[in-house]
């Protein structure tokens, strides 16, 4: 009769291990959960502490926020809306930024090194002196953006649109 208890115990152990595995990259395990209430708490904490390492902000609405000097190292911002946000001097190293909107955002001096920016929209954005080394830029839209002094060294491009973009002193684009 004890056999039915054993699978339940194993299931719980697997569940516990799964939670630990999911939350390991985050400094706060609660941040690894993507629900509207927890996401709002994560955004509030980001605004207060200026950091959210490895946090999950998929599809978050971050439009027009003051995110200067934030540390979003390895954060998941896939599908987020950062239109008109101020991300100057932000650290987005190795972040997942696929399908993210940065329309008219300020990313002056930001670090996007090793980030995945596939299908991201930077139309009208200011990326002056932004570090995009080793970034993945497949189907990325930079139409009418400002990129003087940006560094694209070793970045991967496929079908990237630079129409109407200021590429003065840009490195890594030929």
Per-residue model confidence (pLDDT) at position 17: 34
List all residues 6 or more positions away from 157 whose beta carbon is below 8 Å from its beta carbon. Answer: 137, 138, 140, 173
Tens-digit pLDDT profile for residues 129-161: 999 999 999 999 999 999 999 999 999 999 999
Assess contact for 76 and 56: CB atoms under 8 A.
yes
Q: Is the pLDDT of residue 20 over 70?
A: no
**What fold, for 55-174?**
Pectate Lyase C-like (2.160.20)
Give the separation between CA 136 and CA 55, rounded to whole angstroms. 20
Per-residue model confidence (pLDDT) at position 34: 58
* Predicted structure pTM score: 0.79
Average pLDDT value over all residues in the chain: 86
Tens-digit pLDDT profile for residues 57-90: 999 999 999 999 999 999 999 999 999 999 999 9
b/e per residue 128-157 (b: at least 16 CB within 10 A): bbbbbbbbbbebbbbebbbbebbbbeebeb
Q: Is the pLDDT of residue 14 over 90?
A: no
Domain boundaries, the chain: 55-174
């Amino acid at each position: 009769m004890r056999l039915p208890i054993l699978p339940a115990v194993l299931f719980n152990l697997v569940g516990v291990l799964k939670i630990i595995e999911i939350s390991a990259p985050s400094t706060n395990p609660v941040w690894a959960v993507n629900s509207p209430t927890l996401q709002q708490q994560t955004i509030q904490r980001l605004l207060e502490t200026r950091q959210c390492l490895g946090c999950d902000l998929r599809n978050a609405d971050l439009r027009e926020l003051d995110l200067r000097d934030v540390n979003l190292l390895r954060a998941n911002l896939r599908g987020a809306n950062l239109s008109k946000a101020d991300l100057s001097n932000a650290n987005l190293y190795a972040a997942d930024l696929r399908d993210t909107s940065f329309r008219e955002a300020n990313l002056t001096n930001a670090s996007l090194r090793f980030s995945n920016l596939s299908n991201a929209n930077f139309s009208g954005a200011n990326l002056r002196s932004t570090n995009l080394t080793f970034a993945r830029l497949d189907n990325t839209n930079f139409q009418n953006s400002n990129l003087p002094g940006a560094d694209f060294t070793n970045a991967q491009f496929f079908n990237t649109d630079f129409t109407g973009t200021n590429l003065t002193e840009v490195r890594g684009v030929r």
